[in-house]
Amino acid sequence: MQFEFLIPIVLFICILLAIRAVVEARARRQMVQYHGSEEMLRTILEGEETRRREASLRWGVILLALAAGFGLVEALSWDEASPGVFAVLLAATGVGNLAAYYLARRAR
């Protein structure tokens, strides 16, 4: 298997994440520099923390559901890509999203 096509994709993603981190850090610095109200800053930072936690929860649940879907495909010995394989994997992704939504709503 050839992985040469992955190098530019991973490079692009790394550059994108680095730019995003710099922009977010600069925005935070400017908020502190221009003496935004302390309550406003606290509210923004708490909202970001909540979004980060929920994103981690969501991805964790989705990846677990996809792992279960791949396990099911392997257990059924489906070696070729077919509509049934894609249906199982899409269903696992959907179930993972629904479970993440349920867990996030229950945690509030």
Q: Is residue 19 part of a domain?
A: no
Calpha distance 30→56 (Å, rounded): 27
Q: Name the 3-class secondary structure at 1.
A: coil
Q: Is residue 68 part of a domain?
A: yes
Predicted TM-score (pTM) above 0.95: no
Q: Say what the pLDDT of residue 15 is.
A: 96
Residue 82 has pLDDT above 70, yes or no: yes
What ranges in 34-82 are assigned the alpha helix state H? 38-75
**How would residue 95 be classed by pLDDT, with cut points 50, 70 and 90?**
very high
Q: Is residue 34 part of a domain?
A: no
Domain limits for position 69: 53-108
pLDDT in tens, 49-80: 888 888 888 999 999 999 999 999 999 888 88
Q: Is residue 11 part of a domain?
A: no
Mean pLDDT of 2-15: 89
Calpha distance 91→84 (Å, rounded): 10
Which of 28 and 19 is assigned the larger pLDDT?
19
Q: Is residue 28 part of a domain?
A: no
